[in-house]
């Protein structure tokens, strides 16, 4: 449970970073794309013997790099959808993508334990909680870009599913959680470099020192959110149905409390209902 708590805390710290970017006039895209080298260096100094890497077979190695690329794509898609559709629908698409890896764990990989009535009820309540906890969002967006919402849902679902599969299959073979995480980040760093070079040439971004430096407080919790999520999956015998459900709901609930306490963002009645449903869902799943 400690690893789950830690990965939730570090994930919320990422959201706190994003919340502060607007206040300090930081280009979130630059901070996101540069945070991956910071993640890599954090992991390396955390465990220097993680290098040299012990790469698995060609298929698994390509899968590792592919997930790293997927991390960047999902971040950028989420940013685009937030601009075009607003925070509420994008947040909902992101969180409901939990359905994909949970169902794969339960029905295909059979690593989600027994499908009891308690588990089914807990999952249903958890999915309902994700909906109710999402921002209500009366925005100024006139016409939503539906394909962007679908892309966020599919990209997050596929990336998380592949992440769980490779973690269960090869994490020990490649040298443990740190080595596996660093390998993933190689794909992310390569993709980020290509995107940054392209945007710089085409004038898509305006560089500033504060945007570059913002990658540091973003990259540190980003690495540890990856690392402790892997450790949580190991602790729960790769039971992604439980781990991902608690993780997603935990991030939502702690984010709501953090927003209320530190940013004075009040919860709506709908969100309080979501918190109650989430607590009940978690209890049913883990009992």
**pLDDT recorded at residue 195:** 93
Mean pLDDT for the chain overall: 82
Higher per-residue pLDDT: 138 or 50: 50
- 238 vs 242: CA distance, rounded Å: 9
Q: Dump pLDDT digits (tens) for 56-93.
A: 999 999 999 999 999 999 988 887 776 676 555 666 67
CA angle (58, 232, 153) in 5-degree steps: 70
Q: Dump pLDDT digits (tens) for 181-205.
A: 899 999 999 999 999 999 999 998 8
Residues above pLDDT 70, as percent of the chain: 85
- Read out DSSP for 24-54? TT--HHHHHHHHHHHHHHHHHHH-GGG-S--
Q: Dump pLDDT digits (tens) for 212-256.
A: 999 999 999 989 988 898 888 778 776 666 777 788 778 777 877
**pLDDT recorded at residue 153:** 86
Does the pLDDT of residue 136 top 60, yes or no?
A: no
**pLDDT recorded at residue 140:** 46
DSSP 159: H
Higher per-residue pLDDT: 118 or 60: 60
Does the pLDDT of residue 105 top 90, yes or no?
A: no
Q: How far is CA 192 from CA 35, 183, 187, 231, in A?
A: 9, 15, 9, 26
Full 3-state SS string of the chain: CHHHHHHHHHHHHHHHHHHHHCCCCCCHHHHHHHHHHHHHHHHHHHCHHHCCCCCCCHHHHHHHHHHHHHHHHHHHHHHHHHHHHCHHHHHHHHHHCCHHHHHHHHHCCCCCCCCCHHHHHHHHHHHHHHHHHCCCCCCCCCCCCHHHHHHHHHHHHHHHHHHHHHHHHHCCCCCCHHHHHHHHHHHHHHHHHHHHHHHHHHCCCCCCHHHHHCHHHHHHHHHHHHHHHHHHHHHCCCCHHHHHHHHHHHHHHHHHHHHHHHCCCCCCHHHHHHHHHHHHHHHHHHC
pTM value?
Answer: 0.79
The mean per-residue pLDDT over the stretch 116-124 comes to 80
Higher per-residue pLDDT: 198 or 284: 198
Does the pLDDT of residue 265 top 50, yes or no?
A: yes
Higher per-residue pLDDT: 79 or 32: 32
- Residue 81, classed as helix, strand or coil, is helix
- 101 vs 91: CA distance, rounded Å: 17
**pLDDT recorded at residue 64:** 92
- 37 vs 39: CA distance, rounded Å: 5
In terms of Cα–Cα distance, which of 117, 87, 128, 98 is closest to 285? 117
**pLDDT recorded at residue 235:** 81
Provide the b/e sequence for 137-150 (b: ≥16 CB within 10 Å). Answer: eeeeeeeeeeebbe
In which band, very low, low, confident or very high, does the pLDDT at 30 lie, cut at 50, 70 and 90?
Answer: very high
């Amino acid at each position: 449970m400690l690893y789950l708590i830690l990965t939730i805390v570090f994930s919320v710290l990422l959201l706190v970073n994003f919340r502060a970017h607007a206040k300090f006039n930081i280009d979130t895209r630059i901070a996101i794309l540069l945070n991956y080298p910071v993640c890599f260096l954090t992991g390396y100094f955390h465990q220097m013997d993680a290098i040299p890497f012990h790469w698995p077979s060609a298929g698994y190695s390509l899968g590792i790099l592919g997930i790293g690329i997927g991390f960047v794509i999902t971040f950028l898609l989420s940013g685009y959808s937030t601009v075009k559709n607003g925070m509420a629908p994008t947040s909902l698409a992101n969180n409901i993508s939990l359905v994909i890896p949970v169902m794969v764990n339960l029905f295909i990989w059979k690593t989600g334990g027994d499908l009891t009535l308690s588990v089914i009820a807990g999952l249903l309540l958890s999915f309902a909680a994700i909906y109710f906890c999402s921002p209500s969002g009366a925005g100024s967006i006139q016409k939503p870009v539906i394909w962007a919402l679908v892309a966020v849902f599919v990209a997050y679902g596929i990336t998380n599913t592949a992440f769980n599969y490779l973690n269960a299959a090869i994490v020990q073979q490649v040298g443990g959680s740190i080595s596996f995480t660093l390998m993933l980040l190689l794909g992310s760093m390569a993709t980020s470099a290509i995107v940054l070079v392209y945007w710089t040439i085409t004038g898509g971004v305006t560089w500033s020192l504060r945007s570059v430096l913002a990658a540091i407080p973003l990259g540190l919790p980003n690495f540890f959110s990856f690392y402790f999520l892997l450790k949580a999956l190991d602790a729960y015998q790769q039971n992604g149905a439980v781990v991902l459900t608690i993780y997603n709901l935990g991030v939502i609930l702690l984010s709501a409390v953090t927003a209320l306490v530190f940013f004075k963002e009040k919860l709506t009645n709908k969100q309080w209902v979501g918190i109650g449903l989430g607590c009940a869902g978690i209890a049913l799943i883990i009992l």
